[in-house]
Amino acid sequence: MSTSNIQTLAKETIELQAKAIANLVESVNDDFEQAVKLIYNCKGRVVITGIGKSAIIANKIVATMNSTGTPAIFMHAADAIHGDLGNIQQDDVVICISKSGNTPEIKVLIPLLKNFKNPLIAITGNKTSFLGTQANHVLNSYVSKEACPNNLAPTTSTTAQLVMGDALAVALLNLRGFTSQDFARYHPGGALGKALYLRVSDLIAQNEKPQVSPEASIKEVIVEISEKMLGVTAVIDKTEVIGVITDGDLRRMLKNNDDFAHLKAKDIMSASPKTISHDAMAVDALEVLEANDISQIIALKNTTYAGVVHIHNLVKEGII
């Protein structure tokens, strides 16, 4: 296969799936709305099951729901009839995913699920299938053709299932009034979660707090910057930050002065430095650093010097 043919086939695959997904808009109907309300009002969890590639999609939908405020668990359709049906509790809602809705495992499983009397939602490409006719609500994920050239390997159909699951999850999170703060609670360990909850106060707690008086000698300034290892020191007059001195300021001072023994901190500081509240989000500090092409920013608690945020703090936390 030539390079041009490879690219053509890849583009055709993407276009075919894009059209199939666009057609799913017609499948969002009253049944979809009732399914969303059923899940929203249930007192239990959402148990999502499937087999083969549909099981993989089920796992992803479970992960999306759990991270957006809808408790969900995965139950493999084959394992369900060998003991895993015990996962289903009285108040749970079951979602079964199957392209054909007629696979042998699904035909065995559905009557057993009906015995539990839990509401059943089907995500299937065949509304008249065994699954489709037995479900309380059917979310139609029909596609006319798989992207696979042989029209066999689940490609477009699994994409459609995934998108239908995402549509469910997004509708539910909106009903729940799920906010970015809620999202952060469920993602505390990742960079995404940190971007939503990490504050400047969390960052400055990791650092020393360099500061000198306006009358400090250049030697004292150098020692303070060196010992605190942040490449900067605040210049404090009583409790007010009146300036900062960076290692860049020191280099410029050395370049412009052969004799600096008489100089004080106030002579070489940069007045009116950029500052940020200690309550601000870490991502806000990043925006200020990037906008001003600087590596450090002074944090204030009200008007009092609280510490320094260095860009390395943001790198360490995965914000950058």
* Domain 197-316: CATH class, spelled out: alpha beta
β-partners of residue 124 are 98, 140
Query: Do 3-178 and 197-316 share a fold?
Result: no
Summarize the annotated binding site as residue ranges. 76
Q: Distance between CA atoms of 84 and 86, rounded to whole angstroms?
A: 5
Q: Distance between CA atoms of 26 and 11, rounded to whole angstroms?
A: 24
- What's the pTM? 0.70
Q: How confident is the model at residue 259 (pLDDT cuts 50, 70, 90)?
A: confident
| Listed range (7-16, 68-77, 182-191) with the worst mean pLDDT | 182-191
Q: Where are the domains of the chain?
A: 3-178, 197-316
Q: Each residue of 107-132: pLDDT tens digit? A: 999 999 989 999 999 999 999 999 99
Share of the chain above pLDDT 70, in %: 95
**Average pLDDT of the chain to the nearest whole number:** 91
Q: Annotate 273-292 with DSSP letters as a single string.
A: --EEETTSBHHHHHHHHHHH
Strand 72-76 with 46-50, pairing: parallel
- Is the separation of the CB atoms in 142 and 157 below 8 Å? no
Residue 273 tokens, joined: 């430095």
Q: Each residue of 28-70: pLDDT tens digit? A: 999 999 999 999 999 999 999 999 999 999 999 999 999 899 9
Summarize the annotated binding site for Zn(2+) as residue ranges. 76
What CATH architecture applies to the domain 3-178? 3-Layer(aba) Sandwich (3.40)
Q: How confident is the model at residue 238 (pLDDT cuts 50, 70, 90)?
A: confident
